Structure 1
């Protein structure tokens, strides 16, 4: 790590090439990586074959248990923390583009430094904690020639990332078997791939809700309905993946769940503050609320019946139905 270089990159944030833009994304990448230990990526042959087998087995088990037809992404990467930061700078840049293009501020230079520092904090913290990620490439424009788009057309696809140093460190800190823990993470991320693979409309649905909300924010308003719809949809996404992974995982996992939940709640004051600022507590509540909904559906009608949620956007549960699965079943699967 080089904290001096990180601070210097933030302080010299200059926006895009012409000096415009509310975030200097090149500076974010430099600063976040300077503030974060990349971690080791010296994979053994067992590591390489293990990741491949975990993903392959998760695909087959999730297909069988969930009754879903999907493929895993073509892009599957075992990364260190710096690789993850680079990949997500591109994602955040796409997501923030609507805001940056419309946002007017009184003090652009100071705002750019503050925003660059904020995004550096976000990516540094997450880069040190994320274990795996399924990236549906929301808000991708499909332009492989764009400076912040995919490097080539083959990368304009959903992607699956595993942050190897974080997985190894977490397994060690939790005192759990590393191969079993790695496999459990793979099942969770492939469960997300199953959702988006089974619902070709899902990426566009989430994107439209996000764009509507961000566009209103740039005009000084707040589209409560758009953000409410996004929250409900993400609760379904997280909850279904949680339920499906639990039903499909081919080993005991209660100890993994308990220890990981304890780790998420723990940490020092700074870590707890960071999780609160980043809304990670909200994501945990989405997991829990959504998982309880789908467990109830699966218990009453079977796991395959729960997949009806991905047939069309109208089948997503409402907020009221998330707390009353019987009403959703009555509407969708009478």
Structure 2
């Protein structure tokens, strides 16, 4: 961590925008150590094998056709920040532009830049793997593994590093399967996000559009949990339990940051979505549950997430 570098990046932030995104990325990288990325041949082969195995097994279990992204990277923390700062900019810029101006725009820009850099640093220090559909961008999808974080958390949980890495790979490839099986999903999420953001222009918040995003993401996370349960080629209850205990044992500051970033909601999405898809799969199998990706009309509604029988009655086999 280089405090001087972070402070200098904030004080030298420039431009007319509410956030200097280049400076925010510099703040984030100054705040955290990049981590070691000297992979052995065995580790390099392990990542590749885990992705191949996950693709093959998920295709078999879910009976969906998809491929993994062309871009698959094993990164350190600074690499993750570099890759994700443009994504955060694309998603957040329409929102922050609504709050531009004010009596001290230079001070506000510095404060916004520092806050954004801190958020990127927190995430960069904690993200294990990431399937990135690259919303709002005309670019291929990507799959990232943050090697120093995977090793750090595996050691903290006292679990085998190779087994933990494989579990992360299966989870992220499951997300690739969802977006691969549903070519409409990226556009659907983009439209709903932009509808919600656009409503800020006249001082209102379009909650219906944002609720639509939340329901879709609950389906995304719940389906991933279902497929993980049925496809992963090893027991992993201990991994999930230990990760949940680690989340629950976070420091007060860590809990606050997670709440501000909405990470607590993601856990709720996992659990609510998993309960829905477990019920659907018990009735129709995993392939039947995969039908949710055939069309936006087959996404569960907010009410159906809590009443899977209503979805089963509405959607034909």
Query: Which TM-score applies when normalising by structure 2?
Result: 0.97
Report the CA distance between 1:78 and its aligned residue.
Answer: 0.2
Residue 25 (structure 2) aligns with:
29
Count of aligned residue pairs for this structure pair:
316
Residue 5 of structure 1 is matched in structure 2 by: 5
What residue is the counterpart of 1:270 in the other structure? 253
Cα distance in 2 for residues equivalent to 1:221 and 1:4? 40
- Counterpart-to-counterpart distance in 1, 2:308 and 2:95: 36
Q: Which runs of 4+ in 1 moved over 4 A?
A: 100-103
Is the 1:239–1:286 Cα contact (8 Å) retained in structure 2?
Answer: yes
- Where do 1:205-284 residues align within 5 Å? 205-284=188-267
Gaps of 5+ in 2: none
Instruction: Please report how far the alpha carbon of residue 8 of structure 1 lies from its aligned counterpart in structure 2 after TM superposition.
Output: 2.1
Q: Does structure 1 retain, via aligned residues, the 8 Å contact 2:98–2:200?
A: no
Query: What does 1:184-223 correspond to in 2, within 5 Å?
Result: 184-223=167-206
Q: Alignment partner for residue 109 of structure 1, among 96, 106, 109? A: 106
Question: Is the counterpart of residue 313 in structure 1 residue 296 in structure 2?
Answer: yes
Return the alpha-carbon distance in structure 1 between the equivalents of residues 114 and 149 of structure 2: 23
Give the secondary structure class of the aligned counterpart of 2:151: helix
The match for 1:145 is none
Point out the more displaced range, 109-118 or 177-186.
109-118
Once the two structures are superposed, the pairs formed by residues 89-108 of structure 1 within 5 Å of their partners are 89-106=85-102, 107-108=104-105
Shift of 1:103: 4.4
1:147 — aligned with what? none
Aligned to 1:79: 75
Aligned mate of 1:127, from 109, 124, 127: 124
Cα deviation, 1:260-314, whole Å, max 9, x if unaligned, reads 1111121222111111111110111011100111011111110000011000111
Per-residue CA deviations over 1:212-237 (Å, capped at 9, x if unaligned) read: 11111243210010011010011001
Where does residue 150 of structure 1 map in the other structure?
A: none
Q: In the alignment, is the contact (CA less than 8 A) between 2:17 and 2:100 conserved in 1?
A: no
Per-residue displacement from partner, 1:95-150 (whole Å, max 9, x unpaired)? 1232355544213222211211121111110100000000000011x3xxxxxxxx
Query: Residue 310 and residue 38 in structure 1: after superposition, are their counterparts in 2 closer, same or farther (change >3 A)?
Result: same
Query: What's 1:166 paired with?
Result: 149
1:103–1:218 contact (8 Å) kept in structure 2: no
> What residue number does 2:277 align with?
294
**1: CA distance between counterparts of 2:100 and 2:125?**
33
Distance (Å, rounded) in 2 between the aligned partners of 1:222 and 1:331: 31
Matched residue SS, 1:171? helix
Distance 1:167 1:95, change over 3 A: same
- Asked whether the equivalents of residues 135 and 190 of structure 2 are also in contact (C-alpha less than 8 Å), the reply is yes
For each residue in 1:309-330, what CA deviation from the matched residue of structure 2 results, as whole angstroms up to 9, or x when unmatched? 0001111100100000010011
Distance 2:269 2:30 in 1: 32
- Kept in 1: contact 2:174–2:224 (CA 8 A): yes
Q: Secondary structure at the match of 1:38?
A: coil
